[in-house]
């Protein structure tokens, strides 16, 4: 049941005064409703924690579906902003590959303290991180992702980023894309979650100061962010490139082997394309896919590596846009699915 109940999400960002209509359109949930759904916030129901809050799994008496409930720790600096920002973000986006909140709770608890929570649809297959880097248990068979599943997940994530960058107005930058922030539905459809570091692109000079600073996770963080550059769509593209290389190699960008300037990107570059088979995640070769390994390399794996490497170039100007990346991944996905028919 532990795997079933895995869910990770936390959210946050920006201004606090343009979201009230979003709250008013949603089903009202009380503090007591949430307390009962989580067995009064039992540690057994808590599935993740961050500085600004904890995520619980629970079931409400008025709904048979399992829910993931993010309770904000309002004593922590930034927690209020995270709640208000998430309402703003959720009001602005709607896409099949982005995790959507079901409702909100903004009220007082039984001690008359301010209480805020967000309720999300539960993702039964957990995070991509749990699939790429499972914690092995002797009583559980090892879970691995096939080549086809990895292609589909990558295409889902690319579609979400293309939407955020090119269809949301103003464009929304995720700023913290990584495997733990990608959740998998019943049918392994990927949903991008955790917008806690997200930023809308500034519309004018007065907003520039709000878009500067280090945002993201070491290993996935675009190099230019560490030099004080403003957030940009190119930062998300870099994170996606690292993610794609991780999905292909099974190696985390923070692996202990990456020292003295060696990174997942330049390690892959030093081997690509002649010995790329040597660094493939063994799980890619263990599902009995119909195509022969040689055909996988030419038709799918090499093109995926090319995308991962181009997206994770050190200079932002050398990276492609997510619209082009999404189109190429959709083409790879369609070709793979046709070959399996």
Residue at which a domain ends, from 121, 155, 189: 121
Q: How far is residue 168 CA from its own chain's centroid?
A: 17
* Residue 153 counted as domain residue: yes
Q: Let me know if residue 6 belongs to a domain.
A: no
**311 in the same domain as 260:** yes
Q: Does residue 143 carry a pLDDT above 90? A: no
CATH of the domain at 139: 1.10.510.10
pLDDT at 125 over 80: yes
Higher pLDDT, residue 202 or 245: 245
Same domain, 81 and 153: no
Q: Are residues 200 and 324 in the same domain?
A: yes
Q: Which of 176, 194, 236, 289 is catalytic?
A: 176
Q: Are residues 173 and 278 in the same domain?
A: yes
Residues 294 and 318 in one domain: yes
pLDDT averaged over every residue in the chain = 85
Give a yes or no: residue 187 inside a domain: yes
Reported as a pLDDT band with limits 50, 70 and 90, residue 341 is: confident
In this structure, what token pair is assigned to residue 205?
């000079």
pLDDT tens, position by position, 324-339: 999 999 999 999 999 8
Instruction: For residues 97 and 190, state if they share a domain.
Output: no
Tell me, yes or no, whether 105 and 135 share the same domain: no
- 8 Å CB contact between 168 and 233: no
Q: What is the pLDDT of residues 146-196, one digit of tens each?
A: 999 999 999 999 999 999 999 999 999 999 999 999 999 999 999 999 887
| 38: in domain | yes
Q: Phi and psi for 105 in degrees, rounded to 5?
A: -140, 120
pLDDT at 84 over 70: yes
Residue 68 · residue 126 · CB < 8 Å? no
CATH number at residue 62: 3.30.200.20
What band does 78 get if pLDDT is binned at 50, 70 and 90?
confident
Same domain, 87 and 179: no
Averaged over 278-304, what is the pLDDT? 78
**pLDDT value at 5 more than 70:** no
Locate all alpha helices (DSSP H) within the chain, ordered by sequence: 20-24, 31-37, 79-92, 128-132, 147-166, 233-249, 264-271, 293-296, 302-311, 322-339
Region 212-236: mean pLDDT is 87
Which of the four pLDDT bands, split at 50, 70 and 90, describes residue 214?
low
Lowest mean pLDDT among 51-65, 135-149, 263-277, 285-299: 285-299
Considering only residues 155 and 297, tell me which one the structure prediction assigns the higher pLDDT: 155
* pLDDT tier, 7 (very low <50, low <70, confident <90, very high otherwise): very low
Tell me: pLDDT of 9 over 70: no
Helix orientation angle between 233-249 and 302-311, rounded to the nearest 10 degrees: 140
Tens of pLDDT, residue by residue over 20-57, are 455 555 578 999 999 999 999 999 999 888 788 898 99
| 259 and 279 part of one domain | yes
Neighbours of 149 (CB within 10 A): 18
Domain annotation covers residue 13: no
Average confidence (pLDDT) over 75-81: 87
Q: What is the pLDDT of residue 67?
A: 93
65 is a catalytic site residue: no
Nearest-CA neighbor of 7 among 39, 40, 38? 38
Q: Which of 94, 121, 148 is the last residue of a domain?
A: 121
Q: Which of 121, 150, 170 is the last residue of a domain?
A: 121
Is 45 a domain residue? yes
Residues 117 and 132 placed together within one structural domain of the fold: no
Q: Is residue 280 in some structural domain?
A: yes
Residues 143 and 172 in one domain: yes
Q: Show the tokens assigned to 154.
A: 């990558």
pLDDT at 270 (0 to 100): 92
Instruction: Tell me the percentage of the chain whose pLDDT exceeds 70.
Output: 84
Segment 295-317 mean pLDDT: 95
Residue 289 has pLDDT above 70, yes or no: no
Edge-to-edge strand order for the sheet containing 53-59?
Answer: 46-50, 53-59, 66-72, 114-121, 101-108
Residue 64 belongs to domain spanning: 20-121
In a domain, 4, yes or no: no
186 and 287 both lie in a single domain: yes
As for how many domains the chain has, the answer is: 2
pTM: 0.86
On the question of a cis peptide bond just before residue 273, with omega within 30 degrees of 0, the verdict is yes
- Please state the φ and ψ torsions of residue 240, each to the nearest 5 degrees: -65, -40
110 pLDDT above the threshold of 70? yes
């Amino acid at each position: 049941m532990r795997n079933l109940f895995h869910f990770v999400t936390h959210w946050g960002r920006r201004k606090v005064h343009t979201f009230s209509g979003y709250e008013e359109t949603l089903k009202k949930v009380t503090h007591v409703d949430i307390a009962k759904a989580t067995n009064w916030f039992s540690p057994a129901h808590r599935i993740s924690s961050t500085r600004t809050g904890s995520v619980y799994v629970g079931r409400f008496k008025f709904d048979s579906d399992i829910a993931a409930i993010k309770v904000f720790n309002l004593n922590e600096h930034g927690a209020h902003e995270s709640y208000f920002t998430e309402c703003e973000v959720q009001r602005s986006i709607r896409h099949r590959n982005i995790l959507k909140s079901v409702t909100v709770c903004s009220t007082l608890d039984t001690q008359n303290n301010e209480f805020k929570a967000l309720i999300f649809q539960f993702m039964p297959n957990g995070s991509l991180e749990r699939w790429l880097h499972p914690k092995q248990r002797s009583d559980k068979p090892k879970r691995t992702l096939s080549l086809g599943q990895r292609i589909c997940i990558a295409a889902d994530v690319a579609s979400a980023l293309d939407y955020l960058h090119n269809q949301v107005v103003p464009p929304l930058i995720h700023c913290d894309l990584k495997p733990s922030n990608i959740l998998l539905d019943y049918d392994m459809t990927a949903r991008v979650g955790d917008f806690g570091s997200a930023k809308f692109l500034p519309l004018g000079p007065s907003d520039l100061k709000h878009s500067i600073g280090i945002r993201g996770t070491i290993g996935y963080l675009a190099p230019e962010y560490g030099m004080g550059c403003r957030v940009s769509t190119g930062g998300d593209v870099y994170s996606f490139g690292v993610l794609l290389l991780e999905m292909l190699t099974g190696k985390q960008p923070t692996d202990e082997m990456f020292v003295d300037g060696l990174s997942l990107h330049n390690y892959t570059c030093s081997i690509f394309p002649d010995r790329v088979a040597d660094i493939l995640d063994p799980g890619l070769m263990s599902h009995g896919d119909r195509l022969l390994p040689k055909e996988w390399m030419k038709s799918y794996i090499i093109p995926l590596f090319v995308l991962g490497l181009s997206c994770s170039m050190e200079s932002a100007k050398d990276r492609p846009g997510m619209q082009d990346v999404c189109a190429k991944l959709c083409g790879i996905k369609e070709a793979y699915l046709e070959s399996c028919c």
